[in-house]
Amino acid sequence: MDRRTTLAMAGAALLAPAAALAEAAPNIQPDREMLVPVPGGRVYVRINGDLAAPKPPVVMIHGGPGGSHGSFLPALPLAADRAVILYDQLDCGLSEKPGAPANWHIPRFVDELDAIRVALGVSRWHVLGHSWGGTIALEYAARHPRELASLILQGPLISTRAWMDDAAVLRAKLPSDMQAALDACEGPTPPAKAECDAAVDAFYARFWRLRPLPAWATAYEQKHGLKLAVNIYNAMWGPNEFRATGSLANYDGEPLLKRIAAPTLFLIGDSDEVTPETARRFTSETPGARLAILGDAAHRAQSDQPGAYVATLAEWLAKQDQP
């Protein structure tokens, strides 16, 4: 571990109040919500906290492709200190669903994010992108450096080749029978769907999310009908987290890392789909970047360790608020 890496364990002592807030059910009702016009349609945006407050807000970009803002509910305690902006990408969650594949490309998703900023009257903000959302955040940072107070890349998709390399490393850590099942499921004569689903679920249980969602988060997602937009996921990514067959199959944003001018934090779980080794390489390629690794957490670190997650972000954001 080098001087640019922080191992953020659950219950970070210096930020215990923020951590305690995150462990309980936060106030999940938005202070404002709206549909914002963006290229291709209108997207759902919700705000907790005051956008007019002195501290720059943080906007959180969900993963997928095809996820929703529900994944960030555990981060809402951050709104005690600054505005938290959550949104659903076009064709996802509570946003409009034109269902046009012509909209499913990176530049449009980047333009979508800045259209939200303009509509909310935000001049400068912290941008956090998780997983596929990290791709949008990276591309946004390269195109809109003046609007960034800081950049947080959480378990990010920076390069599909790197993601596939990590997936191979992680699959090798599964029990041998699960590895064999996954191999067979990808072969010409796959076994029964139930067997394949069980093998995929074994991977997810180790590296995607270690713990089930709390009841309050599940109830929110069910109430609002939040679920993966499978059409986008399959078209842009593929059948599962470790098989890229869609339009992102050849994506490589790694050359952009050296162009990032904003203070940058890489944030992963110690059992993330982005391995610590890969995260350290990305961090070293990004000028002045830092890396935080949350203990006992997988790809959905905000669900696995909400206290440490909020504490780590609160500390980072506070240090980067000044121009």
Q: Please, are residues 279 and 293 in contact by the beta-carbon 8 Å criterion?
A: yes
Q: According to the model, what pLDDT value does residue 25 have?
A: 74
Residue 195 lies in a domain: no
Residue 200 lies in a domain: no
Mean per-residue pLDDT of the chain:
93
Q: Can you tell me the distance from the alpha carbon of 261 to that of 34, in angstroms, rounded to the nearest whole number?
A: 31
Residue 231 lies in a domain: yes
Residue 137 lies in a domain: yes
Residue 187 lies in a domain: no
Domain, as residue range, for 23: 5-169+216-319
Residue 207 lies in a domain: no
Percent of the chain with pLDDT over 90: 89
Catalytic residue among 69, 272, 303, 304: 272
Q: According to the model, what pLDDT value does residue 295 have?
A: 97
Quick one: pLDDT band at residue 255, thresholds 50, 70, 90?
very high
Read off the pLDDT of residues 91-142 as tens digits, 9 standing for 90 and up: 999 999 999 999 999 999 999 999 999 999 999 999 999 999 999 999 999 9
Q: According to the model, what pLDDT value does residue 3 have?
A: 47
Indicate the residue type of 240: N
Catalytic residue among 68, 71, 95, 131: 131
Number of domains in the chain: 1
Beta bridge pairs of residue 38: 41
Q: Would you call 131 a catalytic residue per the annotation?
A: yes
Read off the pLDDT of residues 16-26 as tens digits, 9 standing for 90 and up: 444 444 456 77
Residue 198 lies in a domain: no
Q: Please, are residues 100 and 250 in contact by the beta-carbon 8 Å criterion?
A: no
Q: Dump strand ranges (E) for the chain.
A: 5-8, 32-38, 41-48, 58-61, 84-87, 125-130, 148-154, 264-269, 290-294
Whether the predicted pLDDT of 299 surpasses 60: yes
Q: Would you call 272 a catalytic residue per the annotation?
A: yes
Residue 31 CB contacts under 8 Å (≥ 6 apart), including other chains: 47, 48, 49, 50, 79
Quick one: pLDDT band at residue 4, thresholds 50, 70, 90?
low
**Mean pLDDT, residues 252-281 taken together:** 98
Residue 181 lies in a domain: no
Residue 185 CB contacts under 8 Å (≥ 6 apart), including other chains: 191, 195, 196, 199, 200
Whether the predicted pLDDT of 322 surpasses 90: no
Read off φ and ψ for residue 203, nearest 5 degrees. Answer: -65, -50
Q: Would you call 299 a catalytic residue per the annotation?
A: yes
Q: Can you tell me the distance from the alpha carbon of 133 to that of 254, in angstroms, rounded to the nearest whole number?
A: 15
CATH number reported for the structural domain that contains residue 72 in this entry: 3.40.50.1820
Closest Cα partner for 108 from 201, 266, 236? 236
Q: Can you tell me the distance from the alpha carbon of 152 to that of 286, in angstroms, rounded to the nearest whole number?
A: 12
